[in-house]
Amino acid sequence: MSRRSLSDGVVALRPWRAGDVDAIVECIDGDDEIGRWLDQVPQPYTAADARNYIAGLGEQAFAVTDAETGRVLGSIGVRWNESHDVGEIGYWVRADARGRGVISRALAVVSRFAFEQEGAARLQLRADVENVGSRRAAEKAGYTCEGVLRSAHWNARLGRRQDWALYSLLPDELD
């Protein structure tokens, strides 16, 4: 898989572009699930928010698209540590693409990229212990739950502190 062909034939990953603003707003604005679990994502979500997202991601981020049509299905990104050997992955998927394996496929593609082309020694991600869909996607992509970070984050939208399940994948665990 070359840097230009980040795809498994079903999903394809590509850098975000300025022309994606409307697609991002369509995906996120008013989405209760994204708003619930990702409290740092503004709701309502505007074109200005989308432009800021594209311009200042602070991570190696990709649009998750349908490999055949190019339709934006979600987002996945890797935030690297200082030595660029451990990456923390974050993701979201649009409502009408949930439950179809989109994010587990995108996780597999970005993980292979991070290990084979970026030289990662470890990838990890966090998901609220109650976010069944996110946890299932991580497990389907081969990630192992290492444990729970108890009371790790205050989420005002949920009105409670979140416990986060911590998942990881190591290079020799790729399928």
For 31-59, how does the pLDDT look when each residue is reduced to its tens digit (9 = 90+)?
999 999 999 999 999 999 999 999 876 78
Are 11 and 105 in contact by the 8 Å Cβ rule? The answer is yes
How many residues would you count in the chain? 175
* pLDDT lower than 50: segments of the chain: 1-3
CATH of 6-173, one of 2.60.200.30, 3.40.630.30, 3.40.50.620, 3.30.1510.10: 3.40.630.30
For 66-81, how does the pLDDT look when each residue is reduced to its tens digit (9 = 90+)?
999 999 999 999 999 9
Calculate the CA 62 to chain-centre distance: 9
**Is this structure's pTM higher than 0.95?**
no
